[in-house]
Amino acid sequence: MADAPLLNEYKLEFVLRRLPQTLLGGLNLKLGYEAPFYVYVLQIVVWLVPWVVSAAFTLATELGGLSILISSIVCGSAHLYFAYHHSAVSNIPPKNLTASQNLRQLLADDDEILFLSCFSFTTFNFVIPPKKPLFRPNILFHSVFSGLLCGFGVFYTLPSFLASLYNTSTGVAVAIYIFSWVSICIAQYPLTAGGVPPEVAVYRSVDPYELASLSRCLHICIVYAMNVVLIFDPRFQTTNQVLHILLLFLPLVWLYGLLPPTDALIFWLVEQLHVFALGGSPMATGLRLMLAFFLSGMVLLGASFIASVQALVIFSAAFGFVLSTDVVSFILALSYRSFSHFTSKISLIIVAWHIAVLAPGVIVAIVVVYFRQNFTSGIKLGFQIAFIALYVVGKVLQDVQKVYFLFGIFRNCLYPTSYTSMVTFMKRKKILRIFGFVHFILSRGINPLLMTAYLSAFLLSSSQLPSFFAALVTIHAYRVVWQRSNNALLIFSVVAVVDLISSSSSAVAPFFSPSYLGERLLVADIFVDRVVRFVENLWFACSLLVSSYWDTKQRRKSSLGILIINLLFFPIVLGTIGVASILSAPLLPLFTLPIFLVGFPRHSAFWPQTPGKAGASTCADTVYYAQMAPEIAKQVATATYLGSTVTIGSCTNLPFFLVRSQDKSVWIQTLESGYSYASYSVKGLELQETSCHALEATRLDDACQAAFEPGDQHKTNPFPLLSSVTPVDTVYISSYSDAKNSLTGIIDNPKAIQQYHRDFVKSMVWLLIPKNDAKVQPQKPNTFELVDHYKTSSPHPSQTSVDDILSSRPNSTRSVVVKNARNTDGSTTSLGSLLSSEDRFKLAERNTRRPVPQLKPPGLIDNDEDWENESGFSDSGFGLPALQPKIAGNTNGGEQHVIYTGIKENLTSHVFLLIYFLNNELTPYLHLFDRSWYLHVTSSLDDPGELNASGMEEDKLMEISRSLVLGGYFIVNNPTHLGASHLGKVFMGDIPWSPQLDWLEKNPELYDLVLQAHRVSIKLMYDRVAMGTTDLAEDEDFEETMTSLRELQSDWFIGVESSADWKAAVEKQVPSLFSLSHGDSSNSFSARVLTRRPVEAHITHVSPSSVRSIWSNLSMELLYATNDDEERFSIQAHQSLIRNLTVQAADPPLGYPIFSSKPMYVSTL
Q: What is the pLDDT of residues 823-834, one digit of tens each?
A: 444 444 444 444
Provide Rg for the chain, Cα atoms: 39
Report the distance separating Cα 1160 and Cα 39, nearest Å: 53
- Convert the pLDDT of each residue in 390-426 to its tens digit: 999 999 999 999 999 888 888 988 999 888 888 889 9
CB-based contacts of 896, cutoff 8 Å, min separation 6: 790, 887, 889, 890, 916, 917, 918, 919
pLDDT in tens, 1040-1067: 888 888 899 889 999 998 888 999 999 9
pLDDT at 685 over 80: yes
Looking at residue 102, its amino acid is: N
Predicted pLDDT at 838? 38
- DSSP for 574-637? HHHHHHHHHTT--EEEGGGSS-EEEPPP--TT-SSSPTTTSPP---TTHHHHHHHHHHHHHHHH
Give the lowest-confidence range in 14-28, 40-54, 485-499, 1015-1029: 1015-1029
- In this prediction, residues 132-158 reach a mean pLDDT of 84
Nearest to 652 by CA among 813, 526, 778, 463: 526
**Residue 310 CB-density burial (10 A; 0-12 exposed, 13-18 middle, 19+ buried):** middle
Please give the pLDDT value at position 972: 81
CA dihedral in degrees (909, 915, 920, 924; nearest 10)?
A: -60
Helix (H, G, I), strand (E, B) or coil at 1073: strand
Report, as an integer, the average pLDDT of 739-762. 82
Contact in structure between 771 and 820 (CB atoms under 8 Å): yes
pLDDT at 367: 94
Q: Looking at residue 807, what DSSP letter applies?
A: S
Which comes out higher in pLDDT, residue 131 or 1073? Answer: 1073
Measure Cα distances from 1043 to 392, 774, 1047 in Å.
59, 20, 6
Side-chain-side CA neighbours of 323 within 13 Å: the count stands at 33
Band the pLDDT of 750: cuts 50, 70, 90. confident
**Is the per-residue pLDDT at 1145 higher than 90?**
yes
Number of H helices, E strands in the chain: 41, 22
pTM for this entry: 0.83
Confidence band for 888, pLDDT divided at 50, 70 and 90: very low
150-163: average pLDDT: 91
Whole-number mean pLDDT of the chain?
80
Peptide linkage before 1149 cis (omega within 30 of 0): yes
What residues have CB less than 8 Å from 499, skipping those under 6 apart? 384, 512, 514, 520
Nearest 5°: the CA angle 675, 681, 684 is 145
pLDDT of residue 237: 82
The one-letter amino acid at 719: F
- The pLDDT of residue 475 is 95
Mean pLDDT within 909-921: 40
User: Per mean pLDDT, which range of 144-148, 487-491, 532-536, 932-936 is the poorest?
Assistant: 932-936
pLDDT at 923 over 80: no
**The pLDDT value given to residue 868:** 37
Amino acid at 510: P
Residue 848, CA distances (Å) to 467, 567, 896, 923, 930 in order: 107, 102, 13, 12, 21
pLDDT band at 580 (very low <50, low <70, confident <90, very high): very high
pLDDT at residue 185, as a whole number: 94
pLDDT average, residue stretch 672-694:
85
pLDDT tier for residue 125 given thresholds of 50, 70 and 90? confident
Long-range contacts of 461-469 (CB under 8 A, 24+ apart): 461/309, 461/515, 462/309, 465/306, 465/307, 465/308, 465/309, 465/312, 466/304, 466/305, 466/306, 466/307, 467/304, 468/300, 468/304
Which pLDDT score, from 0 to 100, does residue 1054 have? 92
| CB-based contact 398:414 (threshold 8 Å) | no
Q: How far apart are CA 411 and CA 168, in angstroms?
A: 66
Let me know: does 632 contact 668? Beta carbons within 8 Å: yes
Contact 725, 1104 (CB under 8 A): no
Residue with the bigger pLDDT between 508 and 516: it is 516
φ, ψ of residue 57 in degrees (nearest 5): -70, -30
What pLDDT was estimated at residue 846?
37
Size (the chain), residues? 1165
pLDDT of residue 975: 64
Q: What is the rounded distance in angstroms from the CA atom of residue 902 to the CA atom of residue 895? A: 23
DSSP letter for 62, please: H
Residue 134 dihedral angles phi and psi, to the nearest 5°:
-65, -30
pLDDT given for residue 829 in this prediction: 42
Of 483-487, 593-597, 883-887, minimum mean pLDDT range:
883-887
> For residue 816, what pLDDT is reported?
32
Q: Mean pLDDT across the stretch 659-688?
A: 91
Q: Which helix (H) or strand (E) holds 904?
A: strand 896-904
* pLDDT band at residue 345 under the 50/70/90 scheme: low
Please give the Cα distance from 878 to 873 (Å, whole number).
8
Confidence (pLDDT) at 153 = 93
- Fill in the amino acid letter for 523: V
Amino acid 248: pLDDT: 93
> With pLDDT > 70 as the criterion, what percentage of the chain qualifies?
79
Number of other CB atoms surrounding residue 21 within 10 Å: 16
**Rounded (10°) angle between helices 170-192 and 215-232:** 140
Question: Taking a C-beta distance cutoff of 8 angstroms, is the pair 727, 704 a contact?
Answer: yes
Question: Which SS3 state, helix, strand or coil, does residue 1084 take?
Answer: strand
Highest averaged pLDDT of the listed ranges 191-195, 216-220, 784-788? 216-220
Q: Under DSSP, is residue 644 helix (H, G, I), strand (E, B) or coil?
A: coil
Average of per-residue pLDDT across 30-36 = 78
**Cα–Cα distance, 376 to 464 (Å, whole number):** 20
What residue ranges in 73-112 does DSSP mark as E strands?
A: none
Rounded distance, CA 317 to CA 303, Å?
11
Nearest to 704, CA basis, from 686, 728, 735, 671? 728
The β-bridge relationship of strands 1072-1079 and 410-411 is unpaired
Interatomic CA distance for residues 1156 and 1162, integer angstroms: 16
Q: Which residues contact 536 (CB under 8 A, 6 or more apart)?
A: 653, 1103, 1104, 1105
**Measuring CA to CA, how many Å separate 1032 from each of 636, 908, 1021, 1029, 1037?**
52, 46, 12, 8, 11
Does 635 have pLDDT greater than 70? yes
- Reply yes or no on whether the pLDDT at 1160 is more than 90: yes
Residues in CB range of 364: below 8 A, 6 or more apart:
317, 449, 452, 453, 456
Residue 733 CA to residue 40 CA, distance in Å, equals: 64
Environment class of 636 (CB within 10 Å of its CB; exposed 0-12, middle 13-18, buried 19+): buried
The per-residue pLDDT for 463 is 66
Mean pLDDT of 48-62: 92
Give the torsion through C-alpha atoms of 336, 339, 342, 344, to 10 deg.
-150
119 to 38, 124, 195: CA distances (angstroms):
10, 7, 20
DSSP assignment string, 424-475: HHHHHHHHHHHHHHHHHHIIIIIHHHHHHHHHHHHS--GGG-S-HHHHHHHH
* CA separation for the pair 823, 1054 (Å, rounded): 10
The enclosing H or E element of 669 equals strand 664-674
Find the mean pLDDT for residues 943-953.
Answer: 51
Task: Please tell me which residue, 929 or 806, carries the higher pLDDT value.
Answer: 929
What is the rounded distance in angstroms from the CA atom of residue 837 to the CA atom of residue 816? 8
SS3 track for 19-31: HHHHHHCCCCCCC
Compute the CA torsion angle 830, 831, 834, 837 (nearest 10 deg): -110
Residue type, 83: A
